[in-house]
Amino acid sequence: MSPHKFPTSSSSRSLSYKEMGELSPRRAARVLVVDDNPDTRMLMRELLGTRGYEVVAVPDAAQAEREIQRELPDLILSDVIMPGKSGYELCREVKDNPATRLIPFVLITGLSDREDKLRGIEAGADDFLSLFFRRNCLPASSRCSSSKSSPTNWKRPSRCCAAWA
Residue 6 has pLDDT above 50, yes or no: no
Per-residue confidence at 21, pLDDT binned at 50, 70, 90? low
Per-residue confidence at 159, pLDDT binned at 50, 70, 90? very low
Q: How many other CB atoms sit within 10 Å of the CB of residue 32?
A: 24
Residue 24 has pLDDT above 90, yes or no: no
The pTM of the whole model exceeds 0.95: no
Q: What is the pLDDT of residue 131?
A: 66
Distances (CA, A) of 136 to 9, 77, 158, 160: 46, 16, 10, 8
Residue 7 has pLDDT above 50, yes or no: no
Mean pLDDT, the chain, integer: 76
pLDDT in tens, 54-72: 999 999 999 999 999 999 9
Range 28-164 has CATH code 3.40.50.2300: yes
For the ranges 1-5, 88-92, 157-161, the maximum mean pLDDT occurs at 88-92
pLDDT in tens, 112-148: 677 888 888 899 999 988 766 544 455 444 444 333 3
Q: What is the pLDDT of residue 22?
A: 58
Q: Which of 99-108 are b and which e, b meaning 16 or more Cβ less than 10 Å from the residue's Cβ?
A: ebebbbbbbb
Q: What are the residues facing 129 on neighbouring strands?
A: 108
